[in-house]
Structure 1
């Protein structure tokens, strides 16, 4: 009888823990995580962001994610959460589902929160909430949101939904408090995180805090991004809390900063989560929001100027291209450096409503006008306009107007907390023609 072959003495050592019954598996202490880990981001210039280590999870049965909202958002307004590889083939490393909370960023082009969520997740649920707190009467008796603004917003949300649908996604629309709506949707689809852009006003910051608190109860991570200004908040040569309170001091310190590149819109988006059977929902009408639609109707045979404005990214990009072409064709006016040349009806480019709703980003606007200036310089070299090129395009002035806009948004962010409001010194500025 043959003698059975003996197993090599190292065979036991090669067994993995997965082959041992769970009740016999030894507990292996996890190595302490480093305090900070370098994290690549969607934009190539976001290489200096870091990750703060998470705190122990009191409930091991549920995964715990540390929210990106820091105790003092002025110091670290955009710290990111746990890193997940961006390789789409590595599905195990991607999130199951992510929610993109649209706010004043109703666009696909140059939208970092949408692009990052799409790259980090297997499925994405875009959401917009019509918050009842933004409607009705204020304490002084005026509409918090007037019918023209509400109509423009409805147009913008409708256009966003169409653009998302054209790329394989959709937009979930709800009327309700974001902290309630987002939690319900996160539970329904099993979302791991909420992606959103930060805002600057006191009420918007308080809304972020409420969403933060609600998501913390569900162990859902909240990841914030910055995309409402020409200059990125992290590129400023000073901490936001030390920002100059006068425009001149702000302009002198930022006008030589490099402007980050525009983030291209994705041609195809991840599909909606299959879990939860979430319905997109209807976009509310003015009456649904408690507003009188007759206020926007023509009166005495005259149509109000506001009524001709159509909201949405599609309209914004068309108007931007048209305005850039007009700047290129117009003769030089104003100062020698071209900084005060203002064209268009009522001496304005008439793009403020789209910037305010986030249908268009300041960086997109800057890039388009920079192309116009480049073409003008090329024409100048060829002797076509007989001048110095960029100063004759009428676009230089708009750069300064966008800097004014940045100043007001940054100064608002600086004093948006209750503590800062009490300590606030008056900002020094003058009324100028804004974009």
Structure 2
């Protein structure tokens, strides 16, 4: 039987359920698409994927190709639409089954439906929920439709009643076959319509994409420096590479799984130290899960102006405010520093994200979806569920039961009392 694994946001060979399932076949072929739709402009005028995440993705796919070669699986890479290419691949290589990670948001579902409508009858597409810490089948709820709208309730019950599944082992190499001669090429930034760039020396995330890079980071943060033992104390930092784990870009494109990180935390707790800091990294992984379940439960409401609460606020859309916010020339230096960091590196701290989102939505009262779309374009670690879930949360249309508004000056005093971060980014810079 000939199987094909269609990679998406699961760009790894370790702990990959779809890969493990596909390996039960006689011959296995892998494919990844740089879908042109993700490199066009959205309805707000932003490129859906800017150069920071695009290069990180190119690096990731390049590493995946090498890692798959070690288990004798060729990775075909196309700068094309899946519905155009996949049916031909299926026919050419007599593919019986296609394995992929399950997605449910609108764009991904639309693409999958287009592929299905173009495939020959009898070709199966088998999807796996493989981006969670707690698998949907293991939730302590009848279904994801019944998860609570308050995170704390979800977290406490999952911690008490749900178990994290073991890691799926890296598959053993297949026998070498001549199923395919791979002449496809991974696109360059220029091919994707983007400019190349040098990493800013001030960046808090100077790392490259790829599964090996993610595992190296895990080794560094947990074992070489044991920074995990101080995670909760330092996670609201703003300057440097080690104030937080920085796993999010690799998690976002699936270079590493949440389960891999979880079980490494458990190993660290057993061998080195168990404290509030080690627990807090798991706490953040549960937040990540929660936003995925919010989008599963509420569907396209996470992209709508009223959010999941369907609230009717009087939102504005002012070009002057948008330009000022993006360029970091607002009345708030702390906001400006964070926005300049994002614009020049594709990275922003968790503390920064909450403040600039609150400023955009609660102070300026601008359409929160514009801010979310800009983040989608720029962020190295863009994840559809976390990004739109967090923006709803900070804009009063999501899962914040207290509808908080940040006091930006007080936040700056608390987290950048000596102005180290603001001074770093508010010096005159060339962009």
Q: Could you say whether these structures have the same fold, taking a TM-score greater than 0.5 normalized by the shorter chain as the test?
A: yes
1:87 equivalent in structure 2: none
Q: Work out the CA distance in 1 between the residues paired with 2:194 and 2:182.
A: 25
SS at match of 1:305: coil
* 1:164-313 superposed matches below 5 A: 164-215=68-119, 217-238=120-141, 239-256=143-160, 257-269=162-174, 271=176, 274=179, 277=180, 279-293=182-196, 296-297=197-198, 302-303=200-201, 305=203, 308-313=206-211
Identify if the C-alpha distance between structure 1 residues 330 and 207 changes in structure 2 by more than 3 Å, giving closer, same or farther. closer
Deviation at 1:410, TM superposition (A): 1.3
Q: Work out the CA distance in 2 between the residues paired with 1:268 and 1:151.
A: 29
CA contact (8 A) 1:327 1:395 kept: no
1:404 matched to 2:280? The reply is no
Q: Work out the CA distance in 2 between the residues paired with 1:252 and 1:177.
A: 42
Higher helix share: 2
Instruction: Render the CA deviation track for 1:144-194: whole Å, top value 9, x for unaligned.
Output: 101010000000000000011122222111111112211110011010011
Q: Which has the larger radius of gyration?
A: 1
Q: Work out the CA distance in 1 between the residues paired with 2:254 and 2:175.
A: 22
Deviation at 1:423, TM superposition (A): 9.6
SS at match of 2:77: strand
SS at match of 2:14: coil
Query: Normalising to structure 1: TM-score of the pair?
Result: 0.65
CA contact (8 A) 2:40 2:48 kept: yes
Q: Work out the CA distance in 1 between the residues paired with 2:6 and 2:74.
A: 13
1:351 matched to 2:235? The reply is no
Deviation at 1:415, TM superposition (A): 2.5
1:369 equivalent in structure 2: 265
Deviation at 1:143, TM superposition (A): 1.3
Deviation at 1:412, TM superposition (A): 1.4
Q: Work out the CA distance in 2 between the residues paired with 1:328 and 1:303.
A: 24
1:100 equivalent in structure 2: 5
2:214 equivalent in structure 1: 316
Q: Work out the CA distance in 2 between the residues paired with 1:365 and 1:333.
A: 14
CA contact (8 A) 1:200 1:409 kept: no
SS at match of 2:275: helix
1:148 equivalent in structure 2: 52
